[in-house]
Amino acid sequence: MQTKKIHVKRGDIVFVTTGKDRNKTGKLLKVDAGKNGVIVEGVNVVKRHNRARGNQPGGIVEKEALVHLSNVMLFCAKCQKPVRAKISVLEDGKKVRLCKKCGESFDN
Ligand SMILES: [Zn+2]
């Protein structure tokens, strides 16, 4: 089985390139590898109408929906723009992602 290469992970600040929230940045909350999607804080928020159940009141709940992996890029705080990362392997074999432009590490 082939391991899917995912360029982002939880805790990253990502830039959204398309959709109603394009050009927004947000913190990546969750990666759903099976669906090739990510949940980004404050991005692609959808309203869910919940029906009252038992003693739980119904109402409108706002929740982030999946954004496709191909629609997010890593955001470099140093460059202040979305960038591509390059993978660098450290002496101990650990892989880190570095900003292609300024060399800043995304994996501190
Ligand atoms: Zn950079």
Distance 17 CA to ligand 1 centre (A): 17
The answer to whether the beta carbons of residues 31 and 6 sit under 8 Å apart is yes
Right CATH for 13-82 from 2.30.30.30, 2.40.50.140, 3.40.190.10, 3.90.190.20: 2.30.30.30
Cα 56 from Cα 31, distance rounded (Å) = 29
Distance 25 CA to ligand 1 centre (A): 15
The pTM (predicted TM-score) of the whole model is 0.84
Distance 54 CA to ligand 1 centre (A): 51
pLDDT in tens, 11-53: 999 999 999 999 999 999 999 999 999 999 999 999 989 888 8
Mean pLDDT along residues 44-70: 92
By the 10 Å C-beta count (0-12 exposed, 13-18 middle, 19+ buried), 34 is classed as exposed
Three-state secondary structure call for residue 91: coil
Statement: residue 3 has pLDDT above 70: no
Instruction: Give residue 30's pLDDT.
Output: 97
Distance 97 CA to ligand 1 centre (A): 11
Q: Tell me which residue has tokens 């300024």.
A: 102
